[in-house]
Structure 1
Amino acid sequence: MRFKQDFFEQLDGFYSQVYPQPISNPHWLGWSEDAAQLIGLSQPNDELLMQLSANHAAPGASYYAQVYSGHQFGGYTPRLGDGRSIILGEAIGPHDAWDVALKGGGPTPYSRMGDGRAVMRSAVREFLVSEALAALNVPTTRALAVIGSDLPVWRESQETAAITVRLAKSHIRFGHFEYFSYTQQGDKTQLTQLVDFTIQQHFPHLTTDKAGYVQWFNEVVAATAKMIAHWQSVGFAHGVMNTDNMSIIGDSFDFGPFSFLDTFKEDFICNHSDHEGRYAFGQQPGIGFWNLQRLAQALTPLIDSDDLINALNQYQRHLVDQYLQLMGQKMGLPSFEYNQQQVDKKHLDAAQAEQQKQDLALIGEFTTMLEKNQLDYTNSLRQFGQLDPTSTQSSLRDDMQDTVKYDEWFAAYQLRVGKLADINQWQQARNAVNPKYILRNYLAQEAIIAIEEQGDNTKLEQLYQLLRQPFAEQPDMQDFAKRPPDWGQGLIMSCSS
């Protein structure tokens, strides 16, 4: 790996230099060929294993933990920071530079009495979900590898430590801006420095002046809305949408008790610590907006309130436009209303606005039927690849208990789809955007159990390879597309998982 150190060299005072602590008997559990290509690597080797397990120093690495704050479950925590993640620097790839971080690399000044370690089960889950989301074309951080060890750590019981090697285009979070806004007692120096750095690194087409700041915040609002629209379209529940877990560039970030939906439930909660359902699946769009409001509040020393409010007022438009674009592709709705030219417009005309309203209602009625009939979200959408909109007969109809309601919905759906020139081509287009395979929690759990009980990472490797091609049929892997067994339905995870 070849590193540059822009954050480390340009933002002194924004981090603490800290060296990771090695894990004993390191061994590769998982390796992402796709993520490796992003930073110019090919195959794993013994020396790289020793570097990424902190047993050897990585040439050119700086090793530091960032400081930030954040709103956690609605309450503000003034000082958080990287409690178990240590950044080596920005690895230079063929096209971009990616931060390389060792998640589980040991204690930092921000560990708050914790051991700074990640348990194997959480490291495996983060590795899998990072690469699964990327294959689904959802904006996300990546995972180069997961490294196991025999180092004991204690959670509810004794487990073994592991390290996820995370790649991120940026580790800058909403919480960074909150920290440097609220801890400087009216001094805007570091907040300005952070905004300027963020723009120069990640929004280089913008200027670092008042006009550039306004446009930057508008783009952050749009990127956040589009990320959450992707989550809703693929049925992904993040689980812990604290402001310190929100990426400033709109990438899915910091995975804990996440879950993809099995049976569709609007109020599905995947985090067993979320007793009030703050971060339930259906709450994610609203929480995204709430988090952006907290970011806007932190930016008031630099950006006029009216400009911040105007940008926030565009959030719902970005969210709806992106969601309709994605769901329209999944369900085969004509997409000319939502081409990029229309998405970039600030206002839709009356006819387009009415069409959006009707399409949202059509999609909403469909997901309501899924919920009432307790149907699998991913498998139901996949059936659009076998659907003939000119025929009333379909496997979707066969799954419905209330066929009268379905027939009413389908009649409206047929009118919206209209005539098709080539049904085979239409069905192929649906299969290209509706995955057959997702990272179901029970599949991840089976891979984790195999490692825990037999030391066997075969299932992990098999699952990783499966999820690299989520839209392909993969005839030998049909069982992985089935609904979970009873024990695997709606698994709820802890923050330490």
Structure 2
Amino acid sequence: MKLNEVTLSHHYADLGDAFGTRIDPTPFEHPKLIHVNPAVLELLGIDESEADNPDWARLGCGSKPFKGSRPFAMKYTGHQFGVYNPDLGDGRALLLGELEHKGKLWDLHLKGAGKTPYSRFGDGRAVLRSTIREYLAGEALHGLGIRATRALCLVGSDEPVTRERIESGAMLIRVAETHIRFGHFEYLFYTRQLEALKQLIDFTCERFLPEAQSLPDNEKAEALLRFTVQRSADLAAGWQAAGFAHGVLNTDNMSIIGDTFDFGPYGFLDDYEPEFICNHSDHTGRYAFEQQPGVVLWNLNALAHAFSAFVETDSLKDCLEEFQPHLVDAYAARMRSKLGLATEEDGDRKLCADLLQLLADSRADYPLFFRALAHYRGERPPAALNELVPAAQQEALAQWLDHYDQRLAREDSDSSARNRAMLRSNPKFVLRNYLVQKVIDAAEGGDYRPLQTLFELLQTPFDEHPEHETWAAAPPESGKHMPISCSS
């Protein structure tokens, strides 16, 4: 499909005025195309040759609409840091419409598009810094096999936007199967628009849970909640195994289909610190790395409360009780892959827990340690691993490796095959915050080559790419614990 053939539908906007407001974007006067995502072009069925089309600059800032587009600011609410906020919605983004390809609908969502009725005191803009962070984060998680929204293109400008300092405005077109959040259901429940809430449940099931369509209303709502509980548990397991901290897990940042959604002050672990806080506004550690699974369950409880208009309390509890076992099983499966264990034994969870405690005590670099472990073949001393832990912890490491060797001996696989499998589960290239800052600094100076390099590495993070070793290095001390805020 050529770019001028792209035609959007607007199924969500057609749901009615209860769901948001029709409004046009406020485009940049002088947009400049920074990047087009070839992988998302393919996802949407747009010809790869269209990546060089000059129309992207105008399409990506809203000055040239796609055919059929009917921009729509979605209304929702949500719990932010545990407190219900009724005044939320798309305050700087617009749902442009849905594009169908191979029987699947994809939302195109323009972020940074200007003021909407839900902007409150904001200017409706995004800045280059945060837009690059989101653009890269979607690719990073997708490359690791974790569900995430992605972006189609990134557009910059010379428009000044005031945050902690004056920055350059930017926009991106976010692509997702849906932009429906937990907060959409909360909004309709708390405002007692129960017919609209039923309509939203019907709409979501029709799109993602068609087998529930013929069920009575209460069973349909329950089926949707169970679906979201399981998807959310899978998502949290993926984050914890990958060492990803979202940073601001409010209910309005939780996708009903379990996508990683609304990238802000995120961070991947450098040193293994379970208490890692990536959002410098999170003064209590509510969204610390180790707290994420519990916060996801808290958010699911808030969603379940919104479903209480149709589902009995006991059934809601049954749904929520599925979260913990599903999370544990999904996390255990991911960690077995990281450890090269093709079979499952009763002691595997303790083996993993002992290793994580060792890494925490050592403050060892999480991705580098697991990548080195993927090359481990029983050597003594384990030189590559010893380099990653302090001398005081090397005896504890040797003891753990003895247990690990015994466990590997019971696997029906040779070391070469196991190492190859582990290299496909333990990335060499990770989206560390110091690398993102390196890209941002260059881009703010007009150099987009580092953005392109890191973008490509994140799409194939398990490959060696020997010409890019510096991008796989541990951060300097100054690159750890970089203060990342919600401002964008």
| TM norm structure 1 | 0.93
User: Are the counterparts in 2 of residues 39 and 97 from structure 1 also a CA contact under 8 Å?
Assistant: no
- Give the drift of 1:379: 0.7
Pick one of 2, 9, 18 that aligns with 1:4. 9
- Give the drift of 1:10: 2.8
**Deviation string for 1:424-455 (max 9, x for gaps)?**
111000001110001111111111111212x1
**Deviation string for 1:257-288 (max 9, x for gaps)?**
00111111000001010001100001000000
Q: Using the alignment, how far apart are the partners of 1:392 and 1:206 within structure 2?
A: 57
- Give the drift of 1:390: 7.6
Query: What percentage of residue pairs aligned between the two structures are identical?
Result: 41
- Give the drift of 1:54: 1.3
Residue 437 (1) aligns with residue 429 (2): yes
Q: Using the alignment, how far apart are the partners of 1:458 and 1:392 within structure 2?
A: 40
Unpaired stretches in structure 2, ≥5 consecutive residues: 1-5
Q: Using the alignment, how far apart are the partners of 1:147 and 1:190 within structure 2?
A: 35
User: Are the counterparts in 2 of residues 79 and 179 from structure 1 also a CA contact under 8 Å?
Assistant: no
Q: Determine the structure 2 residue equivalent to 1:20.
A: 25
- Give the drift of 1:95: 4.9
Q: What pairs up with 1:251-400 in 2 under 5 angstroms?
A: 251-335=259-343, 337=344, 355=346, 358-389=347-378, 393-400=382-389
User: Are the counterparts in 2 of residues 38 and 94 from structure 1 also a CA contact under 8 Å?
Assistant: no
Residue 414 (1) aligns with residue 420 (2): no
Q: Bigger shift: 170-179 or 416-425?
A: 416-425
- Give the drift of 1:71: 0.3
**Deviation string for 1:210-256 (max 9, x for gaps)?**
32322221111010010010000110000000000000000000010
- Give the drift of 1:205: 2.2
- Give the drift of 1:398: 4.6
SS of the equivalent of 1:153 reads strand
SS of the equivalent of 2:482 reads coil
User: Are the counterparts in 2 of residues 32 and 131 from structure 1 also a CA contact under 8 Å?
Assistant: no
Q: Using the alignment, how far apart are the partners of 2:309 and 2:399 within structure 1?
A: 54
Residue 195 (1) aligns with residue 184 (2): no
SS of the equivalent of 2:203 reads helix
- Give the drift of 1:418: 2.4
User: Are the counterparts in 2 of residues 16 and 65 from structure 1 also a CA contact under 8 Å?
Assistant: yes
Q: Using the alignment, how far apart are the partners of 2:184 and 2:365 within structure 1?
A: 38
Q: Determine the structure 2 residue equivalent to 1:150.
A: 158
- Give the drift of 1:416: 2.4
Residue 471 (1) aligns with residue 476 (2): no
Provide closer, same or farther for how the CA distance between residues 478 and 13 of structure 1 changes in structure 2, counting only shifts above 3 A: same
Residue 29 (1) aligns with residue 29 (2): no
- Give the drift of 1:421: 3.5
Q: Using the alignment, how far apart are the partners of 1:421 and 1:272 within structure 2?
A: 45
User: Are the counterparts in 1 of residues 44 and 106 from structure 2 also a CA contact under 8 Å?
Assistant: yes
- Give the drift of 1:392: 6.3
- Give the drift of 1:20: 0.3
Pick one of 117, 121, 137 that aligns with 2:129. 121
Counterpart code for 2:316: L
Q: Bigger shift: 37-46 or 113-122?
A: 37-46
SS of the equivalent of 2:212 reads coil
SS of the equivalent of 2:154 reads strand
- Give the drift of 1:486: 2.3
Q: Bigger shift: 456-465 or 407-416?
A: 407-416
User: Are the counterparts in 1 of residues 139 and 150 from structure 2 also a CA contact under 8 Å?
Assistant: yes
Residue 244 (1) aligns with residue 249 (2): no
Q: Using the alignment, how far apart are the partners of 1:385 and 1:11 within structure 2?
A: 53
Q: Using the alignment, how far apart are the partners of 1:59 and 1:421 within structure 2?
A: 55
Q: Using the alignment, how far apart are the partners of 2:266 and 2:183 within structure 1?
A: 20
SS of the equivalent of 2:109 reads strand
Q: Using the alignment, how far apart are the partners of 1:39 and 1:234 within structure 2?
A: 27
- Give the drift of 1:408: 2.4
User: Are the counterparts in 2 of residues 334 and 417 from structure 1 also a CA contact under 8 Å?
Assistant: no
Q: Using the alignment, how far apart are the partners of 1:391 and 1:98 within structure 2?
A: 52
Q: Using the alignment, how far apart are the partners of 2:33 and 2:69 within structure 1?
A: 21
Q: Using the alignment, how far apart are the partners of 1:470 and 1:149 within structure 2?
A: 30
Q: Using the alignment, how far apart are the partners of 1:19 and 1:426 within structure 2?
A: 54
Pick one of 400, 403, 426 that aligns with 2:394. 403
Pick one of 204, 214, 228 that aligns with 2:210. 204
SS of the equivalent of 2:18 reads coil
SS of the equivalent of 1:58 reads coil
CA RMSD of aligned residues (A): 1.5
User: Are the counterparts in 1 of residues 237 and 330 from structure 2 also a CA contact under 8 Å?
Assistant: yes
Counterpart code for 2:257: I
**Deviation string for 1:346-378 (max 9, x for gaps)?**
xxxxxx7xx2xx322221221221122121111
Q: Using the alignment, how far apart are the partners of 1:393 and 1:488 within structure 2?
A: 27
Q: Bigger shift: 442-451 or 287-296?
A: 442-451
Q: Using the alignment, how far apart are the partners of 2:279 and 2:413 within structure 1?
A: 46
Q: Bigger shift: 47-56 or 461-470?
A: 47-56
Q: After TM superposition, which residue ranges in structure 1, 4 or more long, deviate above 6 angstroms? A: none
Q: Using the alignment, how far apart are the partners of 1:390 and 1:297 within structure 2?
A: 54
**Deviation string for 1:150-172 (max 9, x for gaps)?**
11111112111000210010100
| TM norm structure 2 | 0.94
- Give the drift of 1:403: 2.5
Unpaired stretches in structure 1, ≥5 consecutive residues: 338-351
Q: Using the alignment, how far apart are the partners of 1:472 and 1:84 within structure 2?
A: 37
Counterpart code for 1:445: Q
- Give the drift of 1:52: 2.0
Q: Using the alignment, how far apart are the partners of 2:477 and 2:383 within structure 1?
A: 26
- Give the drift of 1:488: 0.9
Q: What pairs up with 1:450-489 in 2 under 5 angstroms?
A: 450-453=442-445, 455-489=446-480
